[in-house]
Amino acid sequence: MKRLIKDIIWAWRFKRAVRKAKKLSKLFGLKYYVISMNGSIKVVPKKNICELVRSHRFRKGVTVADIEKLALFVTR
């Protein structure tokens, strides 16, 4: 029963994040990713991901394409 409730909450948060990503993408014309970070779902623009990769915030060898493959949802 606990697992079911957790899954329902996660699905609700995911749907909400997807709606937010689509809305922001349409508004600003950027590509947005819905990714899972530290157990929570985040909506992040591709521009910020590129800056973080350039500033070596991720492990050595991680590229934007790797992050895009692991993203739960990608706009456009």
* C-alpha distances in Å from residue 19, one per residue of 6, 34, 42, 50: 20, 10, 12, 23
Cross-sheet strand order for the sheet of 32-37: 40-45, 32-37, 73-74
As a whole number, mean pLDDT of residues 55-74 equals 94
* Range(s) of the domain holding residue 23: 2-74
Q: What is the pLDDT of residues 32-43, one digit of tens each?
A: 999 998 889 999
DSSP designation for 58: S
In sign, the C-alpha dihedral spanning 43, 46, 48, 52 is: positive
User: CB-based contacts of 61: which residues, under 8 Å, 6+ apart?
Assistant: none
Q: pTM for the whole thing?
A: 0.87
**pLDDT band at residue 76 using 50, 70 and 90 as cut-offs:** confident
61 pLDDT higher than 90: yes
Domain count, the chain: 1
